[in-house]
Each structure stands twice: as structure tokens, then as C-alpha cells.
Amino acid sequence: MRCAICERLSFEAICDECIRKLLKEERHTRILEDGLKVYSFFSYASVSPIIFTKHHFWGHRILQKIASHTFADFAAEFEFAEKAAAVAIDDKPASGYSHTAILTHALKSASIIPVYGALRAKNNVKYSGKTYEFRRKNPRRFTVSSKLKNFKYAILVDDVVTSGLTLKEAKETLEKEGIDTLFALVLADAKDN
């Protein structure tokens, strides 16, 4: 197999050298206008080639490797008095897997329980490369699964935050069900920090 980034021979989807070069965490916090804190590990510009691998059938291996260096480490540090559900933003499989489910799975810990298929969009429009105005006019219209009925707290999980509209809508949808969103966790922030 070859490293997906440098194309050198590797036993892993991304070789250790590329992990060291590319995955230098730049943890950021952005607070959306509704007060939701969004924690990210990278700027979008620094990891966009890696994020685009989600569109390939082999991208799951890369996302798993990245998630083990970011989301899993975060989960190991996170402590909370009650169990919080890790809720992927619209984790329907595409390209044979769900990239947000992979990230959510890495959050499993004593305080965080991944819950799959819990928040699904009725509107299947793709936001990638679209304007803020397009995103605003085409909300996701999320539905909440009964899988979250025993949770009071949630952590939203996505790969990228751009405008924050999707996370805001997800938070509002969970609030209507009596679930408090603690924060959102994403791989990358597309806004200049």
C-alpha cells in the first residue's frame, strides 16, 4: 500500500512521516453567534487534502488514523459528571461509510457514548462549496432518533465547520427534545482564525 499523501510505501493509509508533518494540531475554539462552542483541531487550509479523502472508498482508513490522533485523545482528556452522547451530524453512509460516524466512534470513553443514526437530515442537499446564502436558504431539517431519549447532554460531531449554520440547526433541534449541547467537535475550521 502507499501513503495517500506522499505516495511512499507504507503499511498505513498515511505514513508516520506525513502524520508528523501534516497533523500538527492547531486546536482552536470558535463561539458561534448562538453561544455554541466549536472546538477544532486544524485549520481547514492545513488539512483539506486529507478531508477530501472522505469522498473515496479508502478514505475511512485515513479518517480512522486521524481520529485516533485527535478525537480519541480529546475523549481521553474529557471528564463530565454525566454521560454525554456523541452525536454525528447526519451520519448516513456515503462512499461505503460515514465519515462523521468514524469521528464519533473515536470519542468513546467513560464520559462519552457514541450514538449513531441519532440526528438525520430530511434535506439531503450537499453544502460543500456552496455559499452562505445557499446554506441559509436550505436548512437540513434534522430529525432526532429515539436513541437519544435517555440523554440530557450531547456533543455534536462533524468534519468541518464553515458558517456554523448546520451546527446551530442541530443544536436547536436537540434543544427541542430537551437535550443540552455541551459543544461541537470538528476536525477543521474553515474560517480564518
pTM of the entire predicted model: 0.85
* pLDDT digits 0-9 by tens, 143-174: 999 999 999 999 999 988 988 999 999 999 99
Integer angstrom CA distances of residue 132 from 55, 90, 158: 22, 19, 18
Domains and CATH numbers, the chain: 25-189 (3.40.50)
Q: Share the mean pLDDT of the chain.
A: 86
- Residue 177, Cβ density class (10 Å: 0-12 exposed, 13-18 middle, ≥19 buried): middle
Amino acid at 51: I
C-alpha cell at 11: 503499511
Tens digit of each residue's pLDDT (9 = 90 or more) over 4-36: 778 888 887 778 787 777 666 678 999 999 999
Residue whose C-alpha cell reads 506522499 in the numeric block: 6
